[in-house]
Amino acid sequence: MRTIERLFDFLLDQAENYPQEHCVGAKNEKGATYLSTKEVHDKVNRLSAGLLHKGVQKGDTVAMVVAKNRPEWLIADLAVQQIGAILVPVYPTISLQDYKYIFSEASIKYCFTDGGELLDKMEWVKQDVSTLEAIFSFDPSPKAIFWESLLSEYNMTDIEAYRTAVKKEDLATIIYTSGTTGNPKGVMLSHWNITSNVLAAKDLIPNAKGDRILSFLPLCHIFEKVVTYAYLGTGMSITYTGLDNLGGEDGDLRYIKPHFFTAVPRLLEKVYEKIVQKGMDLTGVKKKLFFWALSLTENYEYDQKPGGWKAIQWKIADKLIFSKWREALGGNVKGILTGAAACPSYILKAFSAAGIPIREGYGLTEASPGISFNRYDEGNAMVGTVGLAVEGVEIRIEESGGDYRQGEGEILAAGPNIMIGYYKQPEMTAEVLKEMDGKTWLCTGDIGTFVKGPGGKNFLKITDRKKELLKTSGGKYVAPAPIESALKQDFLIDQVMVIGEQKKFVSALIVPAIDSLRKWCQENGVLWTNMEDTLRHPKVIEYYQTIVDKYNKNFAKFEQIKRFTLIDSPWEIVKPDGSPGELTPTLKLKRRVIMERWSDIINEMYTDN
């Protein structure tokens, strides 16, 4: 068996030991087409040869800016890696200024991109980045070099010599984090940083060789990149698609019938909201049955095995309701892994109870990314936590240096997955990497604690972000995440941001769930004209106050929301005019941006108080 230490070793291992007919492919309007392992292997070698002919050398940086996952992304990633060059994946939704900053700092030599608007942006960037020699397009265009024209004949001995020269400690990629403030930071990850994480996680995915995978989260994010190599390392068949193509009768979920996929919590929330909305549209007995079945999930725990009358209830609910949920996802899903943000417990419970096991993991780009996650096998998952430490990763709760509850503190992580550092940012690196007890510890900036779970195991629980703790003018610390997560459980609330830094009390901006609100208005005699007018209606404001009052009871008095304002437009990654929105590409709130854009409304909530 091949020793796997570098990322491209996963493809070589598959080619030698378990080649697949459908290694990787994509879904389009004509159906799904696939490349075999042999074809992928050949294209990777040919592209490596072409890049070498273009003058790419070990240590050169090559950018990848792609709007939608596609097989060419993986082929280019592997081709760049095995000749010792460094891939710099970049989000397709950032501003032109951020592109210019990243390309300049990383001294990008070549760039792979799509055609169309992204290609135009890269042409604009090229004018101001002196190191950028050429742009390669995955779609034919007169403005750039078509990537297939790079594919060259190769001598296997030469390619193998370049592979051999790549060591596991070598820099494999620089991933720029989608920070909510300031310039992006380039996280330097070695081959072994990422490979060690893949090896620790790949056998924990509940799939077998040949199982179908649907991949739609951006490959430029370390989360999807790592699971992609886990799929390669297990011999699963990967189908790339886009978020817009998932649902509906003709969607890719029903067409591909995947056994596994990853998702961010926001996507799962939207799926859940659509399911509940369909339930609300039912009438009579069907509606009662739907919400009766949904109520069964409220107290669900992993590995739950009801008996007696409860078992009969679950069987009825499964046949009438839950089986239809599974069918909507293709009918074969063995598991979904979610990360990048906190997943509400009601989402985890509802889907898992319906036979669609969702497990939540935790990590950072700086940790390649996995620090902990809940497993799929019995006794190794616990709702409300982010699971057990990844094999080889050590977790420490640092209780000093903060105003924490007993047993709570900043989460530190050490292991082979911890980054080399931030590119050209030694001072920032020193802020987050600390040497203690002969180990390098990553200071995550997240606050957490260990809780005892099944078998007495230590499960990690995230309580908040260290840097997102609010301190009221009265000196009280408030964690916004639990409050926001609680409010979003209501069907009428889509997005929330809690405010209170140096304020006399806590307030909130609330973005209503438009479809659910429209339905509520129809049922409660409120004339729907448009979103802006509806949110001013006294009856609507009064109802949202009852929602806030309901969840306020779960928090201390100083944490409770005293005032709120309903916002008539959703927060997005990119605004309709193409400008950067209020969310990062991983759907986290850009709190500073929201505070600035809604400053007048926020100030009004604190007037005369």
pLDDT digits (tens, 9 = 90+) for 548-607: 999 999 887 888 999 999 999 999 988 888 778 898 877 788 888 899 999 999 999 998
How many whole angstroms separate alpha carbon 279 and alpha carbon 272? 11
**CATH code, 9-262:** 3.40.50.12780
pLDDT for res 245: 83
Q: What is the pLDDT of residues 309-362, one digit of tens each?
A: 999 999 999 999 999 999 999 999 999 999 877 888 999 999 999 999 999 999
Interhelix angle for 308-317 vs 284-296, to 10°? Answer: 130
Q: How confident is the model at residue 609 (pLDDT cuts 50, 70, 90)?
A: low
Q: What is the pLDDT of residues 140-175, one digit of tens each?
A: 999 999 999 999 999 999 999 999 999 999 999 999
pLDDT for res 125: 95
Structure tokens at 320: 């009438």
Q: How confident is the model at residue 243 (pLDDT cuts 50, 70, 90)?
A: confident
Structural contact between residues 66 and 92, judged by C-beta atoms closer than 8 angstroms: yes
Structural contact between residues 360 and 343, judged by C-beta atoms closer than 8 angstroms: yes
Q: How confident is the model at residue 95 (pLDDT cuts 50, 70, 90)?
A: confident
Q: What is the pLDDT of residues 31-88, one digit of tens each?
A: 899 999 999 999 999 999 999 999 999 999 999 999 999 999 999 999 999 999 999 9
Structure tokens at 486: 């609680």
Strand-pairing partners, residue 563, are: 507
**CATH code, 470-605:** 3.30.300.30
Choose among 219, 394, 383: nearest CA to 301.
383
Choose among 21, 186, 33: nearest CA to 98.
186
pLDDT for res 180: 47
Mean pLDDT of 126-142: 96
Structure tokens at 193: 């940083």
Strand-pairing partners, residue 175, are: 187
Query: Domain coordinates of the chain in residue numbers?
Result: 9-262, 264-356, 470-605
pLDDT for res 378: 94
The model's pTM is: 0.84
Averaged pLDDT of the chain: 92
Q: Report which of residues 478 and 200 the model is more confident about.
A: 200
Q: How confident is the model at residue 21 (pLDDT cuts 50, 70, 90)?
A: very high
